[in-house]
């Protein structure tokens, strides 16, 4: 591996500039540490700073004239779109009617519709019932190789196609058991309890503080927080009621006493009418505003810049397991249908002699 520093040219929309410094370049590493927003990613063996033009120029100045500027941009060929024929428009209309009647979310309708427009456009003029599984897989493979679609988009496309054939046309599922990409086994990003405390206590605004407290203390998704009603906080019974979580499932989760204190202070000051957290006009607080609250808190707390709102949910689950709660209880509070989904948190439990004991330490006379 080269010992020259490498700066990876970020895309205009990238949040961070990643760069490599050889482990032996002690002076460079110390200089980089002094940069605001600098962060080291041990799994990638890379550093990063917030993506700004000033930071890019400052990096080049610090790392010196021998620095390599490397571009890792993947050129994507735009996917062509053609105007849909009458048969395709009719198929799309039947799909929309079916997905609405089955009660799928607006986002699912929008995403599936976009994927099916692409599918119908590609097979324009064909009787969709006669398209074989092998032809569909060839279509997906073309999008991967030529247009560089991601694993996420590939899965979404397959889900939309399968919905159309199985739910709209009523064909047996085994006919269209389409090959999917291998799922990446990524571990969820988790903060330490100290980092969480630092983050959720950063906001001075009591509403912002209450929202962050709630997401972490109850393991909520951001959408679940925004849909909470005042009556969902069951203080006498000691639980929070989640109405229509992911998959339209109701559930209960834990109500922290410390959270309850913060919520009471918040309620006395803001007096919400129906939704627990209201916007300026009295309706539901928006997702964009909630994201902005979190991002400001994360920056002020100077924690891992890759942290997201969902990281608080991951951290809740991991900390529950670390403190002795059993997997089934965590599954119920998170609203997971399968215990296998919850089991991923067992892989990110902290491993150290402060938490676990080696059998050697339990032996006597050694």
- By annotation, the residues acting in catalysis are 221, 246, 310, 313, 336, 345
How far apart CA 337 and CA 247 sit, in angstroms, is 9
How far apart CA 160 and CA 124 sit, in angstroms, is 17
Q: Where is 223: in which H helix or E strand?
A: helix 222-226
- The strands making up 233-234's β-sheet, listed across from edge to edge, are 233-234, 239-242, 251-254
CB within 8 Å of 36: residues ≥ 6 apart: 49, 50
Enter the tokens of residue 19. Answer: 């760069």
**Spatial contact of 211 and 225, defined as CB atoms under 8 Å apart:** yes
DSSP string, 106-161: HHHHHHHHHHHHHHHHHTTTS-GGG--HHHHHHHHHHHHHHH---HHHHHHHHHHH
């Amino acid at each position: 591996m080269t010992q020259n520093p490498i700066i990876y040219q970020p895309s205009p929309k990238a949040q961070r500039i990643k760069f490599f410094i050889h482990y032996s370049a002690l002076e460079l590493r110390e200089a980089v540490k002094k940069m605001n927003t600098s962060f080291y990613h041990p799994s990638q063996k890379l550093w990063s700073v917030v993506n700004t033009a000033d930071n890019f120029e400052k990096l080049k100045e610090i790392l010196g004239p021998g620095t390599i500027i490397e571009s890792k941009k993947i050129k994507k060929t735009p996917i062509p779109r053609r105007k849909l024929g009458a048969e395709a428009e009719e198929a799309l209309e039947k799909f929309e009617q079916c997905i609405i009647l089955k009660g799928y979310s607006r986002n699912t309708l929008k995403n599936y519709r976009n994927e099916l427009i692409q599918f119908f456009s590609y097979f324009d003029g064909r009787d969709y019932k006669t398209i074989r599984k092998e032809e569909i897989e060839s279509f997906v493979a073309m999008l991967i190789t030529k247009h560089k679609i991601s694993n996420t988009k590939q899965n979404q496309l397959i889900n939309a196609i399968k919905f159309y054939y199985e739910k709209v046309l009523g064909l047996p599922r085994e006919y269209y058991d389409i090959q999917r990409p291998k799922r990446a086994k990524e571990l969820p990003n988790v903060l330490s309890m100290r980092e969480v405390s630092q983050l959720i206590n950063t906001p001075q605004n009591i509403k912002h503080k209450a929202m962050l407290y709630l997401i972490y203390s109850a393991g909520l998704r951001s959408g679940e927080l925004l849909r909470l009603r005042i009556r969902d906080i069951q203080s006498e019974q000691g639980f929070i009621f989640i109405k229509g979580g992911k998959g339209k499932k109701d559930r209960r989760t834990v109500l922290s006493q410390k959270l309850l204190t913060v919520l009471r202070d918040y309620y006395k000051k803001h007096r919400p009418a129906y939704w627990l957290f209201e916007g300026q006009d009295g309706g539901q607080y928006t997702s964009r505003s909630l994201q902005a609250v979190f991002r400001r808190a994360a920056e002020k707390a100077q924690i891992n810049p890759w942290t997201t709102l969902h990281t608080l949910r991951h951290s809740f689950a991991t900390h529950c397991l670390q403190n002795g709660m059993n997997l089934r209880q965590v599954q119920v509070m998170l609203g997971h249908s399968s215990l296998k989904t919850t089991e991923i948190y067992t892989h990110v439990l902290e491993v150290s002699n402060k938490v676990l004991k080696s059998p050697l330490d339990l032996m006597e006379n050694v």
